[in-house]
Chains A and B, each alone.
Chain A
Amino acid sequence: MVGGGGGDDSSDSSPYPSGEMLLSVRDLRVVFGRNSKHQRQVVAVDEVSFDVDRGQHLGLVGESGSGKSVTSLAVMGLLPRRGVKVSGEVLFAGENLLTASERRMRAVRGRDIAMIFQDPMTSLNPVLTIGTQLEEVIESHRKLDSGAARKKAGELLEMVAMPDAGHRLKDYPHQLSGGMRQRVLIAIALANEPRLIIADEPTTALDVTIQAQVLEILKQVVADTGTALIMITHDLGVVAGLCDSVRVMYQGRVVEAAPRRPLFAEPRHPYTNGLLASVPRLDTPRGEPLTPIPGSPTDVLSWSKGCAFAPRCPNRVDECEQTAPRLEESGARSLRCYNPVEHARRGVSA
């Protein structure tokens, strides 16, 4: 699903003064557990920084275990308080959400920042009607009477192209298909016109044909309302169609950051390159073997002292196993690699 959509390639994050960015994440680090006899600490997210400006679409890409979901949960303040340590800064319109009170966070959630979760089957309360689940988020943040709330709920369903929206309000989740449920979740996210929507793999649990539909709706709705979007996914195709800029994560760290076009035209990190190369293309000659990335994301715990990707990296050099590479910026792009992939210059701007 390449091509179309998105904004301006050159409008990727640049060092604006933090107060101006809608969302500014700086050096986020999330650690689970403690070192003890029965468990080892898990560093799920480390040194993660990114900015999202108003109306921008950011893509967070990575396999499972890469820390992309944990990052979004950290932004929303949804991580458990016991056994989890979060450090760094999450500046939303200048306010650090990590130090905000729980009360303040409740005002932010569902109103300024909204989240769409992965599994529509389990993300809705089975004993409440769709209408109730929509109305409650409206009524919690605004002073509307129930009649007005219900009307608004109906409008929201229409916004997400729900067939027969009026009647759907009285239905229960189990009466809806997966695609419809996901649309409800999108409607819930939109309910209070948030400034930022975080979508965590919203289509992964759906059938392929429905995936395209739901993504289209999401794209439409976000464009219509001018909401900023963080799209979390492992599917590069989704990113290509929707996002202005991309962050590629591996084992908790950002390994590459770039605006959309340059990333796809010239991926520099061997992991990004591998991801792109592993997607089967229609124009591949028949009989050619698929090229997956060798190995699998190793156990999140075994942090070697070198680069986390080294064991699977075709570009591995000695330095990679000695010390972990740092994230280096060059222009609009960032890269965490000692030996990036070289591409034959084809006249594409970097």
Chain B
Amino acid sequence: MTIPLEPQHATGVPTARDDDEPGVSLWRAAWRRMIRNPAAIAGALIVLAFALVAIFAPLLAPYSEGVQDWRGDVTPSDVPGPRDGNLLGVDRYGADLFSQIIYGARQSLIVGVVSTAGGLAVGALLGIIAGGLGKMADTIVMRIVDIMLSIPSLLLAVSIVAVLGQERKSVMIAIAAAQVPIFARLLRGSMLAQRNADYVLAANSLGLRRRTIVMSHVLPNSLGPTIVQATLNLATAIIEVAALSYLGLGGGDLAEAEWGRMLVAAQDRFDESPQLAFGPGIAILISALGFTLLGEGLRDALDPKGRR
């Protein structure tokens, strides 16, 4: 069978790699590793494209958002497909499908970014409290986290939106809430792991105050995994936004394009006009994939063991 020993197991000396020069900081080394990872580059490109499309939508889309000029062309048995003037055809309500898809990126981007940022902020705060302020704080915070985790995240988001009412704001809060426990656990784990690390003990013995140690030493070390998790969570957020829309809890202005809602509308016309569903569906897939690839690439790059 293939014996899996790596050369460094045998010789005890790491085999040379070009990026193992002395004096290269962790970030530089990580950057170099990322550059060489085709999947990570693909992910980064997708994310970049996604962001650009969302930001420059008005410039990229042939028609403005929500313009339903072709409503007359839509009949109960036929939704016009790709044709002159409409790259992908028209949607159920008579708007240009292609433009709607482009504008849909905005919703996903905004909601995704805001909710992930919110979840990160609150979750990280909880995690730091839990990990850094002693046993009592830890127990309380962790109980709260456990409660939040006892409901699958989508259903948690559903409950929150149901309570807060159907607006974009509540969707963002709901998805953020679903991410809080993940970040809380991550930061708590990081804090606990580093609490006994040599450099923390050293800093402590030098008389540094706890707050200083946390801010200038522990947090920067937690930055890497947190960024990775945030990127991966963005992928989940994008999918969850769509899922909430699918359940009819989407919120937001009906005139604004949103991929999940477009999927719902496409369902019963799927037979004759599959492009109605494929368009937004694939858009969701590619964006989520992009963030996932990027997140994975970051994780591999930041892994000090350099395991491929």
Contact = CB atoms under 8 A, between A and B. Distances in A.
Q: Direct contact between A and B in the complex (CB less than 8 angstroms)? A: yes
Contacts of B3: 78-81
B2 A39 contact: no
Contact of A65 (B6, B13, B18): B13
A233 to B, nearest CB: 13
B288 to A, nearest CB: 31
A192 to B, nearest CB: 21
B37 to A, nearest CB: 13
Interface in B1-39: 1-7, 10-13, 15-18, 36
A64 interface: yes
A38 B15 contact: no
Given A38-B17, A38-B18, A39-B17, A80 B12 contact: no
A interface residue count range (under 10 / 10 to 19 / 20 to 34 / 35 or more): 20 to 34
A44 B11 contact: yes
Nearest to A302: B16
B22 to A, nearest CB: 11
Nearest to B13: A65
A80 B6 contact: yes
A33 interface: yes
Contacts of B16: 39-40, 42, 299, 301
A161 interface: no
Pick from B11, B15, B36 the residue with the most CB of A within 10 Å.
B11
Contacts of A223: none
A33 B12 CA distance: 15
Contact of B13 (A73, A84, A102, A300): A300
Given A80-B2, A82-B2, A42 B12 contact: no
A294 B174 CA distance: 64
Given A42-B7, A83-B7, A33 B2 contact: no
B5 A80 contact: yes
A329 to B, nearest CB: 27
B11 A69 contact: yes
A70 interface: yes
B5 A78 contact: yes
Contact of B11 (A39, A42, A83): A42
A67 B11 contact: yes
B contact face: mostly helix, strand, loop, or mixed: loop
Given A32-B15, A42-B15, A301-B16, A81 B10 contact: no
A73 B9 CA distance: 11
A64 B7 contact: no
Contacts of B15: 32-33, 39, 42
B140 to A, nearest CB: 32
Interface string B127-164: 00000000000000000000000000000000000000
B10 A64 contact: no
B10 A44 contact: yes
Nearest to A84: B7
Contacts of A79: 3, 5, 10
Contacts of B5: 73, 78-80
A88 B5 CA distance: 21
Contacts of A70: 10-11
Contacts of B1: 102
A303 B241 CA distance: 59
Contacts of B2: 80-82
Pick from A40, A42, A301 the residue with the most CB of B within 10 Å.
A42
Contacts of B13: 64-65, 299-300
Nearest to B2: A81
A73 B10 contact: yes
Pick from B12, B18, B36 the residue with the most CB of A within 10 Å.
B12
Interface in A60-87: 64-65, 67, 69-70, 73, 78-84
Nearest to B15: A42
A81 B6 CA distance: 10
Contact of A64 (B4, B12, B17): B12
Interface of B: 1-7, 10-13, 15-18, 36
Interface of A: 32-33, 38-40, 42, 44, 64-65, 67, 69-70, 73, 78-84, 102, 299-301
9 contacts: A32-B10, A32-B15, A38-B36, A39-B18, A42-B16, A64-B12, A65-B12, A80-B4, A80-B7
Given A39-B17, A64-B12, 4 more contacts: A64-B11, A70-B11, A80-B6, A299-B13
